[in-house]
Amino acid sequence: MKSILVCGAGGFIGGHLVKKLKKEGHWVRGVDLKYNEFSKSPADDFVIGDLRDQIVVQKILDQPFDEVYQLAADMGGAGYIFTGAHDADVMHNSATINLNILHYGQKAGIKKIFYSSSACIYPAYNQMDPANPKCSEESAYPAEPDSEYGWEKLFSERLYFSFHRNYGMEVRVARFHNIFGPEGTWWGGKEKAPAALCRKVAEANDGGQIEIWGDGNQTRSFLYIDECLEGVQRLMDSKDFFGPVNIGSEEMISINGLAQLIMNIAGKKLTIKHVDGPLGVRGRNSDNKLIKEKLGWAPSLSLSKGLSITYQWILSETKK
């Protein structure tokens, strides 16, 4: 049994991670600004606290945890990150959390720490062509992320590796590519494309219409939550590979294609209306060469399988 701290335990990925770690029999402390909206956390101890506050961070790091998972961030989908309206908060809040956790984590003697970076760190100039985006790990530099969210993630990746070099902290860093699944935000402005489209399709009458931001030809890949957690644990357990590594799917699809897939799952015929909205890069896909080489594994669950589960969950939520 390990002692484990999960920062951001009230969020989507953190909530699922705590459940998995508890099933495996570990002692888990979760910390977040809020409880998870969708299910009760099985954490042994759940602290409601603000990780920007040094006193809170000192308090929760009261023991040399075997593992810390740092998932807390001020984040959301394109509607939150790409409008520019939240840039100062996104950068300040997330950077402060990471600075605090590393500073006090090192003092507390934590054994190993995982940091969730993002595909948003990749340079915009490699993601102009929707059919051929480049997101291999070494292509991150020269840096040109398309959002302040991405710049903060890149800064924090460097911060984690600096603590590794100078203080010998064991760090693991992964770059997540659009994680989705049940119990993720599906309305309110912070939801991402799969959840937003599932909601729109669930709420539309057959023969009706849904709106999509932009022309819908922008491409992305989406990874189901269980696969994400499997990748995180494999990285955490690796002896000599620290990352940064992509944790994502290579099954690239356009946003129009994603909408069509969800309509097929729902058994509804809807027309798509393209409207102006915040977009991000034209194309993005995970590149899984490195994870296969270093961890001998890569995600394989099909998008349509993960989406079916997610659609059913969002459909039931819309009826509550």
Of the ranges 10-18, 165-173, 253-261, 287-295, which one interacts with ligand NAD (CB under 6 A)? 10-18
Q: How far is the CB of 70 from ligand NAD (least distance, A)?
A: 8
Is 221 one of the binding residues for ligand NAD (CB under 6 A)? no
Please report, as a single letter, which amino acid is at residue 176: F
Residue 306, both tokens: 């993960």
- Annotated catalytic, 149? yes
Task: State the Cα–Cα distance between residues 175 and 192, nearest whole angstrom.
Answer: 17
Taking the complex as a whole, the smallest distance from the CB of residue 142 to ligand NAD amounts, in Å, to 21
- The span from the CA of 207 to the CA of 209, in Å, is 7
Contacts of 121 (CB under 8 A, 6+ apart): 140, 143, 145, 150, 153, 154, 157, 175
Contacts (CB under 6 A) with ligand NAD, residues 145-204 = 176, 178-179, 192
The minimum distance between CB 34 and ligand NAD, in angstroms, equals 5
Give burial (CB, 10 Å; 0-12/13-18/19+) of 92. middle
Among 4, 28, 51, 270, binds ligand NAD (CB under 6 A): 51
Residues in binding contact with ligand NAD, number by CB under 6 A: 25
Q: Is 75 an interacting residue with respect to ligand NAD (CB under 6 A)?
A: yes
With CA atoms as reference, report the closest residue to 185 among 174, 176, 196, 169. 196
Considering the complex, what minimum distance in angstroms separates the CB of residue 267 from ligand NAD? 27
Distance between CA atoms of residues 70 and 236, nearest Å: 12
266 binds ligand NAD (CB under 6 A): no
Among 71, 154, 259, 314, binds ligand NAD (CB under 6 A): 71
Task: Give whichever of 46 and 270 is closer to ligand NAD, judged by the CB atom.
Answer: 46
Let me know: does 146 contact 81? Beta carbons within 8 Å. no
| Options 21-29, 47-55, 234-242, 305-313: segment touching ligand NAD (CB under 6 A) | 47-55
Q: Are 281 and 127 in contact (CB under 8 A)?
A: yes
Residues designated catalytic? 149
Kindly list the residues in this chain that would bind ligand NAD in the complex (CB under 6 A): 8, 10-14, 32-34, 50-52, 71-75, 93, 97, 116, 118, 176, 178-179, 192
